[in-house]
Amino acid sequence: MFDFLSDYDVLGAFWVNVQLTVIAAIGSLIWGTILVAMRVSPVPVMRSFGTAYINLVRNTPLTVIIVATSLVLNQTFQITLGADNFDDQGFRLAALGFIAYTSTFVCESLRAGINTVPVGQAEAARALGLSFTQVLRIIVLPQAFRSVVAPLASVLIALTKNTTVAAAIGVGEAALLMKEMIENESDALFLVTAMFALGFVILTLPTGLLLGWVAKKVAVKR
Amino acid sequence: MTAPSVLYDMPGPRARQRNVLYAALFVLVFVGVAYLLLAAMNDHNQLEWAKWSPYLAGTDAWTTYLLPGLGGTLVAAGLSIAMALPIGALFGIARLSDHAWLAKTAGTLVEFFRAIPVLILMFFAYQVYVNFTDIGRDIRPLYAVCTGLVIYNSAVIAEVVRAGILSLPKGQTEAALAVGMRKGQLMTSILLPQAVTAMLPALVSQLVVIVKDTALGGALLNYSELMASVSEAAAFYGGNIIATLTVVAAIYIVLNSLLSWFASWLERWLRRRKKGTGAVVGGGGMEEQVPAVGVGEGMGGGL
């Protein structure tokens, strides 16, 4: 019953999803933090850019963004992101797309987190003579990060599931492998689906539990 | 004068000068990047008027490719939300049941299907229709896309419904039981009507997620919707891929912005109005986040 499994590299496909998730998570955390800094900054041009970026990217389907990285960046502009083979190239383009998209949700979570920091914290910091960047970097953001662990965990879980969209540009990840497997082994349809579904449950469930625990641990007691 | 934000003081003369400098630097970088982009587009002949004119100066491209595509998107999204609503409501109520076996089963199913990528569900549904039904080739992608979206979004809506019911003040349940209502009456005539209004904004926000997810069907299941019309239109108009993608992305953005705007308007309206208990489950502008009220293990919704 399980004989055909040896013909396919299921774990390898899931490993691609894991790698995409980790890289996109780190990238979108950085870019999302920069975006939120722009959105609350005293410079109007940066605020407008931040708002426009969020509203445009968040309302575009992820599929459109991922396909655009391939059709526009790669096939039109011939950008390969330093990759020398098709697999690496698709992987890097997809990671770039995920960062661009997920960072908008990271930014919105962080902005909600900034709003949970009591006004007195920022006022006290300003009274001490701290500048905007100092207020944000030393006082507000560290507290904001601690209160948004749970929302960021939801974003991370959604990102894990979203990495399947990379199938749209032919990245050899789990969903694409599943499509191939259920077409070739159609009598094992339910078995194969259950296996891939379980794979994603295994990837997302511990993330939710672990980060839920972390969220309780680091939450600012007020 | 009050400060514009709690994060920084009212800028004085030096701060104003510095902010102008930062703004100038930012604009410089932005214009530089925009110039590089336009130059690259120009190098690859993507700026020619012929590549943009089908969309900007004619109606053929719209009536042949974009509007039918948009129709496909709206049909799939509309059918999915129409089917996911009752199923989701059923599961949401089942999860709140007093019978442990029912609540546990519904809870497990909801958590399970929320943890699975919607694409996996679509591929699965497609193959089920191939293997076990005689649904025609042309209509099969629509069935597969809708089935995947319905399964996934039912699970999400179940959580919204549960949050909506839990957001109602406890006095509502107590008063209904005190006047001698049965559990069924309590749910259908007291809790559900109020919960439905409370969760309207969250449901409209979920519609944005559904609209975005239909694009998966176009890219991977040959369902003819807006995303699928990109390659057809670009091929017909001589490889104007950037123009086509820009126009298609703009259509999605306008559609989803209208929906998001409507959701937040609804939320404000529900909060303001005097009738009712004032309980609202917001979409909160963060549509991937199912309302925070009692969301099991913090499983993510769908971005």
SS (H, E, C) chain A: CCHHHHHCCHHHHHHHHHHHHHHHHHHHHHHHHHHHHHHCCCCHHHHHHHHHHHHHHHCCCHHHHHHHHHHHHHHHCCCCCCCCCHHHHHHHHHHHHHHHHHHHHHHHHHHHHHHHCCHHHHHHHHHCCCCHHHHHHHHHHHHHHHHCHHHHHHHHHHHHHHHHHHHHHCCCCHHHHHHHHHHHCHHHHHHHHHHHHHHHHHHHHHHHHHHHHHHHHHCCCC
Residues β-bridged to residue B5: B8
Rounded to an integer, the average pLDDT of A130-141 is: 92
Which residue is associated with the tokens 């969301």? B295
Helices (H), chain B: 13-43, 49-56, 60-61, 67-95, 100-114, 118-132, 140-166, 170-178, 183-185, 192-220, 228-236, 241-272
Q: Collect all residues of chain B within an 8 Å Cβ-Cβ radius of residue A42.
A: 4-5, 7-8, 11, 15, 19
| pLDDT tens by residue, B234-245 | 889 888 899 999
User: How far is Cα of residue A44 from the mean position of the Cα atoms in its chain?
Assistant: 27
Q: Do B288 and A154 touch (CB under 8 A)?
A: yes
Nearest to B115 among A155, A174, A200 (CB): A200
| pLDDT tens by residue, B53-89 | 888 888 888 888 999 999 999 999 999 999 999 999 9
What is the C-alpha to C-alpha distance for residues B115 and B84, in angstroms, rounded to an integer? 17
Label residue B17 exposed, middle or buried (CB < 10 Å: 0-12, 13-18, 19+).
exposed
- Closest CA relative to residue B69, chosen from B282, B285, B236, B198: B236
Q: Collect all residues of chain A within an 8 Å Cβ-Cβ radius of residue B215.
A: 61-64
Rounded to an integer, the average pLDDT of A70-89 is: 87
Nearest to A189 among B127, B214, B230 (CB): B127
- Asked if residue A147 has pLDDT above 70, the reply is yes
Nearest to A64 among B115, B131, B245 (CB): B245
User: How far is Cα of residue A82 from the mean position of the Cα atoms in its chain?
Assistant: 22
The first and second tokens of residue B19, run together, are 């902010």
Nearest to A201 among B46, B112, B119 (CB): B112
- Closest CA relative to residue A58, chosen from B208, B263, B153: B208
What is the C-alpha to C-alpha distance for residues A155 and A116, in angstroms, rounded to an integer? 18
What pLDDT does residue A54 have? 95
Q: Do B26 and A49 touch (CB under 8 A)?
A: yes
Q: Do A162 and B117 touch (CB under 8 A)?
A: yes
Distances, alpha carbon A174 to alpha carbons A35, A190, A222, B283, in Å:
31, 16, 43, 30
What is the C-alpha to C-alpha distance for residues B17 and B13, in angstroms, rounded to an integer? 6
**Mean pLDDT in chain A?**
92
What pLDDT does residue B292 have? 36
Q: Do B285 and A108 touch (CB under 8 A)?
A: yes
Q: What count of CB pairs under 8 Å joins A to B?
A: 199
What pLDDT does residue B295 have? 31
- Closest CA relative to residue A58, chosen from B73, B256, B70, B225: B256
Q: Do B219 and A67 touch (CB under 8 A)?
A: yes
Determine the distance in angstroms separating the CA of A85 from the nearest CA of chain B, rounded to an integer: 23
**Tally of CB atoms within 10 A around A196:** 25
| pLDDT tens by residue, A5-30 | 788 899 999 999 999 999 999 999 99
Determine the distance in angstroms separating the CA of B127 from the nearest CA of chain A, rounded to an integer: 7
Label residue B97 exposed, middle or buried (CB < 10 Å: 0-12, 13-18, 19+).
middle
Residues β-bridged to residue B8: B5
Q: Collect all residues of chain B within an 8 Å Cβ-Cβ radius of residue A186.
A: 127, 130-131
Label residue A93 exposed, middle or buried (CB < 10 Å: 0-12, 13-18, 19+).
buried
Rounded to an integer, the average pLDDT of A64-92 is: 89
Residues of chain B with pLDDT under 70: 1-4, 274-278, 282-303
| Total count of residues recorded for chain A | 222
Q: Do A105 and B285 touch (CB under 8 A)?
A: no
Q: Collect all residues of chain A within an 8 Å Cβ-Cβ radius of residue B241.
A: 71-72, 75-76
- Closest CA relative to residue A94, chosen from A1, A24, A193, A14: A24
Q: Collect all residues of chain A within an 8 Å Cβ-Cβ radius of residue B242.
A: 72, 76
- Closest CA relative to residue A204, chosen from B193, B233, B117: B117
Q: Are the C-beta atoms of A54 and B256 separated by less than 8 Å? A: no
Rounded to an integer, the average pLDDT of A49-58 is: 95
- Give φ, ψ of A11 to 5 degrees: -60, -40
CA dihedral A59, A60, A63, A65 (to 10 degrees): -130
Find, in chain A, the residue whose alpha carbon is nearest to that of B226.
A64
What DSSP state is assigned to residue B63? I
